Structure 1
Amino acid sequence: MSNLNNVFKNNKAFIPFVVACDPDFDTTVANIIALAEGGADIVELGIPFSDPVADGPVIQAADMRALTNKPDLTMDDVFDIVKKVRLTTAIPIVLLTYSNIIFQYGYAAFCKKCAALAIDGLVIPDMPLEEQTELKHFTDKANLALIPLITPTSGVRIAKIAQAASGFIYVVSSLGVTGLRANFDQNLADVIAQIKNVSAIPTAIGFGIHTATQAQTMAKFADGVIVGSACVQIVAKYQKMAPPYLKQYTQTMKQSIASTLDE
């Protein structure tokens, strides 16, 4: 069982996202610590990639900032960020990455490194369930959750994906890529219900959520809320001064999400 399962016990999880090395190594470390101090339950750390197919303009820009500011950025630099974070906090961390990055590093070496740093899971948008067999051999050995994405159009595949999931299930709120939204798919509650019919794995909704009211609404029927672009925008605006603003934002979002436990 993944360590992530404990996060959701009697709790509604807030899961913010930041991009590694945006704007630089030390600020990323400080950002993750600030998110933890603000009450985040899990931090999703994005690995900069030149072709992030699931990400909208805000996160694409963050990837480009990171790769421009540090052209020689390597996966080991990202691991070093986590290593430094671990000197201060044990907050669960999941990595959002793409399959080519893990393949190039080597499945065995990548998963072994994740285990050594107490990284808890992977979100890999371009690796569908049917292509996970080889990697899963190594993630299972490392107690590393492979966190799947389920979308409003997953349809008949929902049961198959949910039954194979570990850690939690990332429920995509809308069609398209990441980015702030005012409107979400109207069938999200039904999607969550379909998942719950076949699996006890927690669900967390992401893509587009950015206000406390939106987060509260989603938390009424999901087990957690994921926020990416809004956090990345804070980093883009405040750069090296972002940590206290991320902490304040996290406190507001967590309070709103937690309020649903009393309903």
Structure 2
Amino acid sequence: MNRIEKAFARAREENRAAFVAYLCAGDPDFAGSVAACRAVLESGVDVLELGVPFSDPLADGLTNQLAAQRALESGSDSQRVLDLVTAIREFSEVPIIFYTYYNLVFAQGSERYAARAKAAGVDGILTLDLPPEEAAEHLAACAKHDVKTVFIVAPTTPESRLERICEATTGFVYYVSREGVTGEQASMSESIQANVAQIKQHTDLPVVVGFGISNADHVRTVAQAADGVVVGSAIVNCIAENATDRAAISASLRAKMGMLLEGDALSKQ
């Protein structure tokens, strides 16, 4: 099994959902980003989702927009993002997924992008704004270099498209729990369980749920329906609040992870 399969298999064996943490690569700077990744990985993360900083992150709310801005202003670029993955691989074998936009893939070409990502230690690529119907070149490049693909299903996705999305996916399916952009929310949609069940009719791959999950109650709710729970903005805010103090960032991230996972929040009931 590859690293992604192993992570979800281990979670299933332990009767729980997998925890997927999002951080923006290079936020607040390279060394700080390495430390932040280490802090969350040592706090129980099963899959690390690394946002590739981009100047026009159209699917992201203010928290992740500002994270990308901090990363870009500190000098992050495509090579530095790969360097970050290489640095993480020195201390962790947790699967790493790139959360990126197609402009960044297209600028290099799918073949080169997938090859460089694989060489650095990336396990999968989620390209936010690339529909599977237009992804033939990207899919071929990822298959050639054994990089798994992740595609998104939204609450507004018609069932007629689910089969196509699931066919294009080789890592896991990412269900966006609500319409709009990323960001912490006070409550979760009541349709998550039904929509995840509908997706599972079209695939045997894991289905994870993200966008808006910000506390242990949210994690607990989603864990009952999905194979994985994605938390982003609630974690990224720990960096925003302590951006000039690396030690404080790590301490804040470890405390936040503890709060998100308290009471065995990932456990299947």
Q: Shared fold by TM > 0.5?
A: yes
Within-5 A mapping of 1:27-106: 27-70=32-75, 73-106=76-109
Q: How much does 1:107 deviate?
A: 1.6
Paired residues, number: 260
Answering whether residue 172 of structure 2 is matched by residue 165 of structure 1, we say no
Instruction: Tell me if structure 2 keeps the 8 A contact 1:41–1:92.
Output: yes
Q: Greater relative contact order: 1 or 2 (C-alpha under 8 angstroms, separation 6 or more)?
A: 1
Q: How much does 1:117 deviate?
A: 2.2
Q: Percent identity?
A: 35
Instruction: Tell me how far apart the structure 2 counterparts of residues 150 and 234 of structure 1 sit (CA, whole Å).
Output: 28
Equivalent residue for 1:122, pick from 125, 129, 136: 125
Name 2:142's counterpart in structure 1. 139
- Aligned residue for 2:201, secondary structure, equals helix
Indicate the larger mover: 41-50 or 158-167.
158-167
Instruction: Tell me how far apart the structure 2 counterparts of residues 163 and 134 of structure 1 sit (CA, whole Å).
Output: 15
In the alignment, structure 1 segments of 5+ residues that lack a partner are none
Q: How much does 1:254 deviate?
A: 3.6
Instruction: Tell me how far apart the structure 2 counterparts of residues 143 and 43 of structure 1 sit (CA, whole Å).
Output: 18
Equivalent residue for 1:19, pick from 19, 24, 30: 24
Name 1:251's counterpart in structure 2. 258
In the alignment, structure 2 segments of 5+ residues that lack a partner are none
Name 1:221's counterpart in structure 2. 225
Instruction: Tell me if structure 2 keeps the 8 A contact 1:15–1:42.
Output: yes
- Write the deviation string for residues 97-131 of structure 1: whole angstroms up to 9, x where unpaired: 10010111222221112211221111111001111
Structure 1 stretches of at least 4 aligned residues deviating more than 3 Å after TM superposition? 254-259
Instruction: Tell me how far apart the structure 1 counterparts of residues 266 and 91 of structure 2 sit (CA, whole Å).
Output: 28
Q: How much does 1:189 deviate?
A: 1.2
Instruction: Tell me how far apart the structure 2 counterparts of residues 159 and 104 of structure 1 sit (CA, whole Å).
Output: 29
Instruction: Tell me how far apart the structure 2 counterparts of residues 257 and 98 of structure 1 sit (CA, whole Å).
Output: 34
1:245 partner amino acid = S
Indicate the larger mover: 88-97 or 100-109.
100-109
1:25 partner amino acid = F
Output the aligned Cα RMSD. 1.6
Instruction: Tell me if structure 1 keeps the 8 A contact 2:86–2:121.
Output: no
- Write the deviation string for residues 56-112 of structure 1: whole angstroms up to 9, x where unpaired: 111111111222232xx3200100011111111111111111001011122222111
- Aligned residue for 1:8, secondary structure, equals helix
Instruction: Tell me if structure 2 keeps the 8 A contact 1:159–1:194.
Output: no
Instruction: Tell me how far apart the structure 2 counterparts of residues 244 and 190 of structure 1 sit (CA, whole Å).
Output: 37
- Write the deviation string for residues 131-163 of structure 1: whole angstroms up to 9, x where unpaired: 110011110112111101101111221232123
Indicate the larger mover: 154-163 or 144-153.
154-163
